[in-house]
Amino acid sequence: MYNSLLRVSPNFKLWILCFDDTTYRLLSQMNLKNVELLSLDEFEDDDLKKAKQNRTPVEYFWTCTPSLPLFLLKKYPHLPIITYIDADLYFYSDPEPIFEEFGDRSILLIEHRYAKDAEHKTKNNGIYNVQFITFRNNATGKEALLWWREKCIEWCYRRAEDGKMGDQKYLDDWPQRFQNTCILQNKGAGLAPWNIINYELKQAGCKIFVDDNELIFYHFHFFKMYSSTLFNLSTYDLSSVHKQLVYRPYIKSIREAINYVRQFDHSFNRGYSSFSLDSIKESAWLFMSILRGNFCYLPSSRCKQKQ
């Protein structure tokens, strides 16, 4: 995500919350441009520490989502806006069109835009995806963050329950709850496995288009890497065009990032998934990926982006 953003939009400031000492140490050694690291010791407060006691690691990551931008707005009160970004996004072009559409509004949300065969997932997963959310540093933006933080500390689990699901279902009524909320219309932002079949993807020169909008970022939900050559791309339907234009550049970038990290830690071997058939759900996901041709072997020599 970082390298792709640096390539398409070099003028940014990225704060990375490191949830363990190894991450903080490695990233500190890299001295990444435009990046400021936050340690867990600096970030965590008593409310978060208490919530952490009864949540899985993933549930705790979600719990922290609203607290991170709120923490930064308090630490840097001069910031005009701040955007939370998921780590599994990859940028294909400058995100400036997102902020042009956002204009002077207070909150920016992106809908899931589920394909027809996945629309039923809105009930559990919500209307909007947490992937990329912008808050203006004004009364409305901070009100939303404070409300969201309170709700996530109270309840944030990896299950659907009483109209809640993780940190995400809380967003459903925000256009009514908070004034000046922008629902992004640009199709090039928020492209994901669950909606990619809604659109026509095509390449024109070095640019990729989603219908008539240039592709800005893709959300690599469920992407798994078992080795440097073996991948599970998605449990959703993907065409050969999707794999060529969207997934191959990402795989190439992932490989480059791992090789770069190994310059600082030769034994680094994180980020790889292991085969797990311990649960019916995991087995079903793996079966669907194989059935749809998304479980694939891709040698390094074949992972070259078209020019």
138 domain residue, yes or no: yes
83 domain residue, yes or no: yes
- What's the number of domains the chain is made of? 2
203 domain residue, yes or no: no
Tell me, yes or no, whether 33 and 176 share the same domain.
Answer: yes
Tell me, yes or no, whether 135 and 232 share the same domain.
Answer: no
E strands, 139-204, are 160-161, 164-165, 181-183, 189-191, 201-204
pLDDT given for residue 307 in this prediction:
34
Residue showing tokens 């949830």 = 19
Other beta carbons within 10 Å of 54:
9
Tell me, yes or no, whether 47 and 186 share the same domain.
Answer: yes
Tell me, yes or no, whether 47 and 158 share the same domain.
Answer: yes
pLDDT given for residue 306 in this prediction:
42
* Host domain of residue 233: 222-307
pLDDT given for residue 294 in this prediction:
73
Give pLDDT tens digits for 277-302.
555 566 666 666 666 667 676 776 55
Rounded to 10 degrees, the C-alpha dihedral 192/193/197/199 comes to 10
91 domain residue, yes or no: yes
Work out the percent of the chain whose per-residue pLDDT is above 90.
83
Tell me, yes or no, whether 58 and 119 share the same domain.
Answer: yes
Give pLDDT tens digits for 258-277.
999 999 999 998 888 776 65
Domain termination residue (choose one: 174, 190, 206)? 190
Q: 141 and 221 in contact (C-beta within 8 Å)? A: no
Give pLDDT tens digits for 30-71.
999 999 999 999 999 999 999 999 999 999 999 999 999 999
Task: Provide the β-strand partners of residue 181.
Answer: 107
Tell me, yes or no, whether 176 and 230 share the same domain.
Answer: no
Rounded to 10 degrees, the C-alpha dihedral 90/240/205/200 comes to -80
Give pLDDT tens digits for 103-138.
999 999 999 999 999 999 999 999 999 999 999 999
- Determine which helix (DSSP H) or strand (DSSP E) holds 295, and give its type and residue range: strand 295-297
Tell me, yes or no, whether 22 and 168 share the same domain.
Answer: yes
Is 80 buried (19+), middle (13-18) or exposed (0-12) by CB count in 10 A?
exposed
Give pLDDT tens digits for 210-219.
999 999 999 9
75 domain residue, yes or no: yes
Tell me, yes or no, whether 260 and 137 share the same domain.
Answer: no
